[in-house]
């Protein structure tokens, strides 16, 4: 048991593990909607879209969360605007927005000489998380999860049949805005732990793994959250004992779990299908 308890003797590890647990629950639940809508890359766009907001907010001594949230929503608005005003498809609009906001963010961080560390933004620094950071992540997680719980039926209908939801009179624009706000908040919470580059892995990876293992959306969300917690904790312990960066350790753990499901899932596993075909 010493190997399990030793890391907990350090305050920074306790804070980091608590933060990773919160993000491990939050990100996969929100990411489930991206997987089902086949919009997984949207998470990557928003993750990079918050960079200009972080730079501007830091320069003007504004709340960093406010700047990141505003720019994250703006990036989704730009994608929607490009799609409605042209023949450009969603994937192309996301690629254009991704590269533009990422370039603008790097430029502003450099020109404005922001106090925000670019390396920490890109790769995360979970071991520097303070108690106030944990409380902030917890508040974001509670807000988003309560919203998902309250509007679960509306989100479910909108996710699988947006045209049908609109025909029934549901406020699809407001539902979509709420979903984008939830995705943005989840990404902001995750950036501190695993960084911009790997936050999408934590958002999409556990949800995609659950997608290979279960069929119902609510089971996918529950299993995704469970896997997100498991992957985060295993990644943190791996980081501690192997002396490697925490963010990449969590990212690699997520991929390992996904690979195992891809190979051995009873429903969709590659090896499982081959065994079934041979029998």
- At 79-112, the pLDDT tens digits run 889 988 888 888 898 889 989 998 998 898 888 8
pLDDT of residue 147: 93
Tell me the two tokens of residue 107: 């430029």
Q: CA-CA distance, 50 to 56, in Å (whole number)?
A: 10
Instruction: Note the residue count of the chain.
Output: 279
Q: CA-CA distance, 77 to 181, in Å (whole number)?
A: 11
Q: CA-CA distance, 16 to 71, in Å (whole number)?
A: 26
Q: CA-CA distance, 231 to 153, in Å (whole number)?
A: 28
pLDDT of residue 142: 93
pLDDT of residue 54: 85
Q: CA-CA distance, 78 to 74, in Å (whole number)?
A: 6
Q: CA-CA distance, 206 to 275, in Å (whole number)?
A: 25
- The CATH classification number of 2-266 equals 1.10.3470.10
Q: How many CB atoms lie within 10 A of CB 8?
A: 10
With H, G, I as helix, E, B as strand and everything else as coil, classify residue 89.
coil
Instruction: Point out the residues of the chain with pLDDT beneath 70.
Output: 1, 114-124, 127, 197, 277, 279
pLDDT of residue 32: 92
Domain residue limits, the chain: 2-266
């Amino acid at each position: 048991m010493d190997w399990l308890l030793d890391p907990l003797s350090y305050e920074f590890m306790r804070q980091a593990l608590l933060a990773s647990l919160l993000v491990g629950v939050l990100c996969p639940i929100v990411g489930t909607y991206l997987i089902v809508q086949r919009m997984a890359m949207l998470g990557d766009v928003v993750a990079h879209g918050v960079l200009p907001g972080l730079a501007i907010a830091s320069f003007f001594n504004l709340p960093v969360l406010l700047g990141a949230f505003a720019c994250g929503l703006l990036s989704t608005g730009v994608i929607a605007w490009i799609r409605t005003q042209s023949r450009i498809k969603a994937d192309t609009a996301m690629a254009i927005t991704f590269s533009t906001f990422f370039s603008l963010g790097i430029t502003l961080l450099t020109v404005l000489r922001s106090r925000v560390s670019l390396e920490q933004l890109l790769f995360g620094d979970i071991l520097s998380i303070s108690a106030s950071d944990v409380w902030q992540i917890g508040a974001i997680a509670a807000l988003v999860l309560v919203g998902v719980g309250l509007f679960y039926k509306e989100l479910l209908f909108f996710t699988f049949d947006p045209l049908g939801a609109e025909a029934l009179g549901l406020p699809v624009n407001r539902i979509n805005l709420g979903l984008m706000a939830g995705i943005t908040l989840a990404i902001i919470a995750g950036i501190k732990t695993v960084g911009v580059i790997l936050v999408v892995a934590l958002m999409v990876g556990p949800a995609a793994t659950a997608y290979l293992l279960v069929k119902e959306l609510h089971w996918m969300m529950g299993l995704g959250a469970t896997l997100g917690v498991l992957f985060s904790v295993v990644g943190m312990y791996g980081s501690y004992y192997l002396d490697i960066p925490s963010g990449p350790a969590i990212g690699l753990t997520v991929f390992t779990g996904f690979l195992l499901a891809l190979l051995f899932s009873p429903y969709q596993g590659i090896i499982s299908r081959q065994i079934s075909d041979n029998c």
